[in-house]
Amino acid sequence: MSFQPGPKMTNLPHNMKPASDSTGGSREESLFESALALPPEQRGAYLDTQCGADAALHRRVAALLEAYGRSDGFLEAPPEAVGPAGTLLAGAPPAENPGDIIGRYKIREKLGEGGCGVVYVADQSEPVRRRVALKVIKLGMDTRTVIARFEAERQALAMMDHPNIARVLDAGTTAAGRPYFVMELVRGIKITEYCDQNNLDTGERIRLFIQVCHAVQHAHQKGIIHRDLKPSNILVTLHDGIPVPKVIDFGIAKATEGRLTDQTIYTQLYEFIGTPAYISPEQAEMSELDIDTRTDIYSLGVLLYELFTGKTPFDSQELLRSGLDEMRRTIREKEPLSPSTRLSSMADADLTTTAKRRRAEAPRLVHFIKGDLDWIVMKALEKDRTRRFETANGLAADLQRFLDNEPVEARPPSNVYRFQKLVRRNKMAFATVSGIVAALALGLVVALNLYVKEKAALRRALQAEQEEAGLRKQAERGLEIERKALAGAELGQKLWRAGVLMSEDHMDQAEEVMKGVPPIPESAAIYYALGMCHARWGRLDRAITNYAKCATVQPTNDLGFHCLLPLLAQAGRTNEFETWRHKALNQFASTTEPEAAERMALDCLILAAPDDVAQRAVKILDNTAATPPRPLAELARGLAEYRQGKFAPAAARLERTANFLTNTNAAMQARLILAMARSKLGMADNTPLPDDDQFSLTGGAWNEQMTSLLFTREARGVTVK
């Protein structure tokens, strides 16, 4: 059952017999345990009687007891590393049982178990007799902090008085030291379940949802943010046959939220379980504590999405499976499918069931949601909270307008806006080159504006001509102008289309569209982004194709080369590497940008190079030389010297520079080249070389990781001494 421990020891200390069975234990152990249970002053006498003539046993147990007394803190895991108790490892019994008294409350039965606590039905006897819900927080949270945070909000919570909000009545500490909260007892079922069980149609669902919005709005006006809105916190009860949604747990998420440091990251991770689908992008950020009412708007958007489609925008299971970092990235950056698209993409059987639960036929349901309702949901789900509905009432009002057949305020995003989003996404994904990508994309937007302007200008010219020229001439000229403007506009459309396709992760289609675009510099951003996606998916050849286009249509930008050259080297396409390195050397022969010079000099020398190539690389560096020398330039010079066989100067230079390289990849590369130079000099170098799998070719700065990997492989061939 238990996992096999490390190597068995043959020489047992203190000539003790191994315990035959762990439950039985040795004589020594049982004496130790019995003695430990006694008050310290009685232990000596106890051992005297038990051990009799066995002085060794006496000494041994006495020593253990003494050791125990002094071992406080020994072997205790670092306190911050201790996760929430029992929760992941189920089976930890609840600390409360029916009949237990907690404060003024008597526990009755268990009502349910949530992410961070167990909820019981309890009876309050004074000052009023009533039945309440009592939630005991089960995690290893700091009780005092939780209670203090609750107290800070208590006044505001007391001000909340709304038929759709379950009131939070009290908070305190159980005898076991866990915080608990007392709430108005709501016996209902999750709003999503209620809707499905009763086959509410979309209109009825919206009406129910609007009431939830009003409840949330009421809380927001009192300064309370819920922070944890999700179906299990929105229960529906029947009052005289009329469904009434009630929002529970107001004020609790905030009180139980730990400071979001690395130490508590695991706790946070746990908190995610069951609800990651409802986490807003700013909550997923985790590094910032800047949460406001718009976080609740996002969660409401997720709920509306689920009410419409039966699915959350992102699947909880998938989010969890992808790991913490990927989960955060998805929530922050990935655009979900719109509800109607999501419905259309379901398997036929699923869609039919989903539609049936909404008393509709599949095509009609999709048609009903497409358009206005899509836009409303997507507006609530905006990653950028300034673009969401400003208030819960605003969201409710737009839904009401939809029900009343009035035009809604939420609009489909404009093409320009979608394109900006693409830029923003790229900026985040491609952290290392964000500025450049944004600049490239901006260039594209400018270019497109120019097309539009050109068209307008041409029209004006046409008008002017119309006024002076005869009708026949006008007709001919008009046609020609229209043709020209159209060609420009069409091109702009194509680029837009490619950008939008990419923003929806349709890489193949985007590439298809780009085939119809002539090699204009404005298309570089698209090729760059396409190359990035392929590279990070490990599709080297397709990445190379796109980066080659990027460097062709906009050769003045070194970043295309900076990705292309490592890729060619990695893919073993050395002839092409040769060609492109000459292009880079020519293109940047007289660059005045030190970053570009450093990148190109290094990239051109990733693979062994003839002397003239190394010389030209050094020349590029000379053009932008600075005092004191820039560390990355020194790295490139060290490499150039190494390639030229000047091992001693290379080693000296890299030793000098190593400490100044703050970039991890650059530091690694310096270390590797240094190791190679030393080996060539016959100097022993015991540094173990990194394994291949220590480099991530799918993350940020993958191209620089790739270069490090190439150096590592080269070093393996050199450092055989």
Tell me 189's DSSP state: E
Stretch that binds other proteins, among 31-39, 97-105, 226-234, 531-539 (CB under 8 A): 31-39
**HSE-CB of 562 using CA atoms within 13 angstroms:** 21
* Cβ atoms < 10 Å from Cβ of 680: 16
Q: How far apart are CA 336 and CA 333, in angstroms?
A: 9
CB of 71 to other proteins, least distance (A): 4
> Closer to other proteins at the Cβ: 88 or 520?
88
CB of 589 to other proteins, least distance (A): 34
> Closer to other proteins at the Cβ: 265 or 337?
265
The answer to whether residue 258 forms part of the interface with other proteins (CB under 8 A) is no
> What would the DSSP string read from start to end of 335-348?
PPPPHHHHHHTS-H
Stretch that binds other proteins, among 9-17, 46-54, 532-540, 555-563 (CB under 8 A): 9-17
**708 SS3 class:** helix
Q: How far apart are CA 136 and CA 96, in angstroms?
A: 9
CB of 275 to other proteins, least distance (A): 10
Q: How far apart are CA 464 and CA 569, in angstroms?
A: 58
Give how far the C-alpha of residue 360 lies from the chain's centroid of Cα atoms, to the nearest Å: 36
> What would the DSSP string read from start to end of 244-277?
EEEE--TTHHHHHPPP-SSTTHHHHHHHHTT-GG
Element (H, E) at 32: helix 27-37
Q: How far apart are CA 595 and CA 267, in angstroms?
A: 42
> Closer to other proteins at the Cβ: 530 or 715?
715
Q: What is the amino acid identity at position 649? A: P
Quick one: CA dihedral 494, 495, 500, 506, positive or negative?
positive
616 burial level (CB within 10 Å; 0-12, 13-18, 19+): buried
The answer to whether residue 463 forms part of the interface with other proteins (CB under 8 A) is no
Strand order in the sheet with 242-247: 189-190, 234-239, 242-247
Structure token digits, residue 75: 């072997």
Stretch that binds other proteins, among 4-12, 463-471, 520-528, 598-606 (CB under 8 A): 4-12
CB of 201 to other proteins, least distance (A): 30
Q: How far apart are CA 711 and CA 706, in angstroms?
A: 9
Stretch that binds other proteins, among 227-235, 565-573, 611-619, 699-707 (CB under 8 A): 699-707
Q: How many residues in the chain? A: 721
Among residues 49, 53, 55, 74, which is the contact residue for other proteins, using CB under 8 A?
74
Crossing angle of helices 55-70 and 40-51, rounded to 10°? 160
> Closer to other proteins at the Cβ: 93 or 99?
93
Among residues 53, 81, 347, 626, which is the contact residue for other proteins, using CB under 8 A?
81
> Closer to other proteins at the Cβ: 586 or 696?
696
The answer to whether residue 176 forms part of the interface with other proteins (CB under 8 A) is no
> Closer to other proteins at the Cβ: 41 or 74?
74
CB of 165 to other proteins, least distance (A): 29
C-beta of residue 65 within 8 angstroms of C-beta of residue 43: yes
Structure token digits, residue 713: 């492989």
> Closer to other proteins at the Cβ: 391 or 665?
665
Residues 295-334 interacting with other proteins (rule: CB under 8 A):
316-317, 320-325
The answer to whether residue 682 forms part of the interface with other proteins (CB under 8 A) is no
The answer to whether residue 71 forms part of the interface with other proteins (CB under 8 A) is yes
The answer to whether residue 263 forms part of the interface with other proteins (CB under 8 A) is yes
The answer to whether residue 77 forms part of the interface with other proteins (CB under 8 A) is yes
Among residues 694, 713, 716, 721, which is the contact residue for other proteins, using CB under 8 A?
694
Among residues 594, 700, 714, 718, which is the contact residue for other proteins, using CB under 8 A?
700
Residues 88-147 interacting with other proteins (rule: CB under 8 A):
88-92, 140
CB of 8 to other proteins, least distance (A): 5
> Closer to other proteins at the Cβ: 113 or 406?
113
The answer to whether residue 345 forms part of the interface with other proteins (CB under 8 A) is no
> CB neighbours of 450 closer than 8 A, spacing ≥ 6?
none
Among residues 4, 15, 49, 405, which is the contact residue for other proteins, using CB under 8 A?
4
Q: How far apart are CA 291 and CA 597, in angstroms?
A: 43
CB of 382 to other proteins, least distance (A): 26
> Closer to other proteins at the Cβ: 499 or 638?
638
Four-point Cα dihedral 451, 453, 454, 455, nearest 10:
90
Among residues 705, 709, 710, 711, which is the contact residue for other proteins, using CB under 8 A?
705
CB of 137 to other proteins, least distance (A): 15
Among residues 101, 244, 265, 439, which is the contact residue for other proteins, using CB under 8 A?
265
Stretch that binds other proteins, among 2-10, 97-105, 347-355, 524-532 (CB under 8 A): 2-10
The answer to whether residue 177 forms part of the interface with other proteins (CB under 8 A) is no
Site string for other proteins, 606-645 (x = CB under 8 A): ----------------------------------------
**195 SS3 class:** helix
CB of 78 to other proteins, least distance (A): 6
Is the peptide bond prior to 610 cis by the omega test (within 30 degrees of 0)?
Answer: no
- Is beta strand 130-137 parallel, antiparallel or unpaired with respect to 179-184? antiparallel
Alpha helices in 38-138 (DSSP H): 40-51, 55-70
> What would the DSSP string read from start to end of 90-119?
--PPPS--TT-EETTEEEEEEEEE-SSEEE
> Closer to other proteins at the Cβ: 115 or 488?
115
The answer to whether residue 591 forms part of the interface with other proteins (CB under 8 A) is no
Strand order in the sheet with 117-124: 101-102, 105-113, 117-124, 130-137, 179-184, 168-173
CB of 6 to other proteins, least distance (A): 5
The answer to whether residue 535 forms part of the interface with other proteins (CB under 8 A) is no
Tell me 240's DSSP state: T
Among residues 258, 274, 629, 649, which is the contact residue for other proteins, using CB under 8 A?
274
> Closer to other proteins at the Cβ: 627 or 662?
662
Among residues 45, 175, 273, 681, which is the contact residue for other proteins, using CB under 8 A?
273
Q: How far apart are CA 83 and CA 454, in angstroms?
A: 63
Residues 546-585 interacting with other proteins (rule: CB under 8 A):
none
Among residues 13, 99, 177, 572, which is the contact residue for other proteins, using CB under 8 A?
13
Element (H, E) at 281: helix 281-285
Tell me 8's DSSP state: P
Annotated catalytic sites, by residue? 228
CB of 651 to other proteins, least distance (A): 14
The answer to whether residue 386 forms part of the interface with other proteins (CB under 8 A) is no
The answer to whether residue 5 forms part of the interface with other proteins (CB under 8 A) is yes
Closest CA to 219 of 274, 301, 132, 157: 157
CB of 461 to other proteins, least distance (A): 55
Stretch that binds other proteins, among 456-464, 524-532, 581-589, 666-674 (CB under 8 A): 666-674
